Structure 1
């Protein structure tokens, strides 16, 4: 392959990875909207549209494999190809998490009131967007900045999960007090089942948002390795 064509393919690979990032973030934003509003049609669109992300992933995976097998890149070119493969893997997993998130909203939309779902979701999504931008621009400081934000996201998720469980316990205590200590077992069972369903969806959503942040850090780590041959964020 002529050198010009080889370099063009490397540039196209990078552009393709960024394009996949844009598509995944579009799906992710739609998933947050679907969960918050209870829009079943939008949730279905996110879930059914996941195949487009998968097809994009497979095409870029094939390109990475061909570049490695046929061109045997070295040094910076090799890091670009291997980092790109890792980045698209994390992006594909963010898209999978988006399909989960789209279905977490209740019938009327929203999650547990103790969870700032939109705020946490936008922070996690912003980390992914910034990590992809750092990969595109080759900005090592931006890579490190994304990783530095992960502790704050984890803390927000931890506090949200604790608030959900605390609210469940307090609501149960209030029901007992309101009944004067006498409990209607059948009514309690129905109320508890509804409360547990809401709590379960909220905790799963928080877990998945935290994982989105983890994938953002992975993308930043691979981008930093690609840029500076520095694996400090990988391990």
Structure 2
């Protein structure tokens, strides 16, 4: 492969990774909206859209393999290709978490617990992913460290939200419906379980944002400080 074509393929790979991130982030936004409004139609759109994300992932995975196989990349190019491969893996996982939101929406028999601001937590994790992709696109190592710091706040917010669900909401619901039959109690407990899973999934989106930042930092500066 001529060197000029090779460099163009590197540029195309970056463009395609950024496009995949846009598709994934939009899917997750729609998943959050579906959950907030208990919109079954939006939920189904998110679930059905997972196929497109999987196809993008497989295509980009092959592109990375081809670049490695057809050339002998210099160190900087090798780090870029390896980072891109790891990043599309994180993006694909975020797409799976978006599908989870669609499933939770379809399974829910009541609205999201009003005392837990799922939308706010979800918006923050999505902003972290957006910023991580900006760092990747613009080779900005400073942003990578900022994302890692923000993840600590997300972890704290998710922990507090989980505690609220387990402690305050369960206690309140069971006190108010102490004479409710076992079927109603079981249904409520299923809703609590889905809420805890939702919080866990949002926390994982933040973790994936950190992973993307970590690989970007390594790609740009050969610094593995954020890889763990």
TM-score bracket, normalised by the shorter chain, equals over 0.9
Give how far 1:171 is off.
2.8
The Cα offsets for residues 84-108 of structure 1, whole Å up to 9 and x where unpaired, read as 0000000000000000012323346
Larger Rg: 1
Aligned residue in 2 for 1:225: 218
Unmatched tracts of structure 2, length 5 or more: none
The Cα offsets for residues 35-84 of structure 1, whole Å up to 9 and x where unpaired, read as 11111111111101111011111111001001111102121100000000
Cα separation, 1, equivalents of 2:198 and 2:6: 43
Give how far 1:114 is off.
2.7
Q: TM-score, length-normalised on structure 2?
A: 0.95
Cα separation, 2, equivalents of 1:104 and 1:36: 11
- For residue 83 of structure 1, give the secondary structure of its aligned residue in structure 2: helix
Cα separation, 2, equivalents of 1:124 and 1:192: 32
Cα separation, 1, equivalents of 2:181 and 2:14: 56
Aligned residue in 2 for 1:17: 17
Paired residues of 2:17 and 2:88 also in contact (CA < 8 A): yes
The Cα offsets for residues 16-53 of structure 1, whole Å up to 9 and x where unpaired, read as 10010001001110100111111111111110111101
Cα separation, 1, equivalents of 2:41 and 2:176: 37
List 4+ stretches of structure 1 deviating above 3 A: 105-108, 173-176
Aligned residue in 2 for 1:173: 175
Paired residues of 1:35 and 1:103 also in contact (CA < 8 A): no
Cα separation, 2, equivalents of 1:5 and 1:175: 68
Cα separation, 2, equivalents of 1:40 and 1:126: 25
Q: TM-score, length-normalised on structure 1?
A: 0.92
Cα separation, 2, equivalents of 1:39 and 1:126: 23
Paired residues of 2:112 and 2:195 also in contact (CA < 8 A): yes
1:200 to 187, 190, 193: 193
Aligned length, in residue pairs: 225
The Cα offsets for residues 176-221 of structure 1, whole Å up to 9 and x where unpaired, read as 4xxxxxxx4xx33133112202201110100000001000000000
Q: What RMSD over aligned residues (CA atoms) do the two structures have, in Å?
A: 1.3
Cα separation, 2, equivalents of 1:72 and 1:64: 12
Aligned residue in 2 for 1:181: none
Unmatched tracts of structure 1, length 5 or more: 177-183
Cα separation, 1, equivalents of 2:77 and 2:138: 15
Paired residues of 2:109 and 2:191 also in contact (CA < 8 A): no
